[in-house]
Structure 1
Amino acid sequence: MKLYRLLTEVDDAVFCHKVTAALNKGWELYGSPTYAWDAKEGVMRCGQAVVKEVPGKEYTPDMKLGQQ
């Protein structure tokens, strides 16, 4: 089964650490990062899609993807 997550965060070191943690748990980058201005908060936000192949599992909507 292939899992998909979109990691998002303010454009700072926290975002980089979030992506690095996912990579070290076996997730792989999927596509290019994205950036958008959050007018409500007055900050830039980053996003990066990641995917991971997980053998022997079946997807359910209550699955905690970050714990896979």
Structure 2
Amino acid sequence: MADDRQLPRYRVLTGPDDDSFCWRVSEALDLGYELHGAPSLTFNGDRVIVAQALIRDES
């Protein structure tokens, strides 16, 4: 895994609303990211797609 100096301070995770997406967000939280705002959801005609912004405090 990348060390802290290589992690961006801001990132947005996107993907289908499934267990895999939840695990990706959980892993980011374990790396020190915090949720930034509410998730955004849309329907692409096939499934629900979710986006979640995260920030990481470097101090």
Q: TM-score, normalised by structure 1?
A: 0.69
| Unaligned 5+ runs, structure 2 | 1-7
Report the structure, 1 or 2, having the larger strand content.
Answer: 1
Q: Which residue identity is paired with 1:21? A: E
**2:20 and 2:31 mapped to 1: Cα distance?**
17
Q: TM-score, normalised by structure 2?
A: 0.79
Q: CA RMSD, aligned part only?
A: 1.5
> Which structure has the greater CA radius of gyration?
1
Map 1:52-67 → 2, pairs under 5 A = 52-55=56-59
Q: CA deviation at 1:54?
A: 2.5
Q: Which residue identity is paired with 1:9? A: G
Matched, 1:5 2:31: no
The total of aligned residue pairs comes to 52
Matched, 1:50 2:41: no
**2:18 and 2:51 mapped to 1: Cα distance?**
12
| Unaligned 5+ runs, structure 1 | 56-68
Percent of paired sites with the same residue: 35
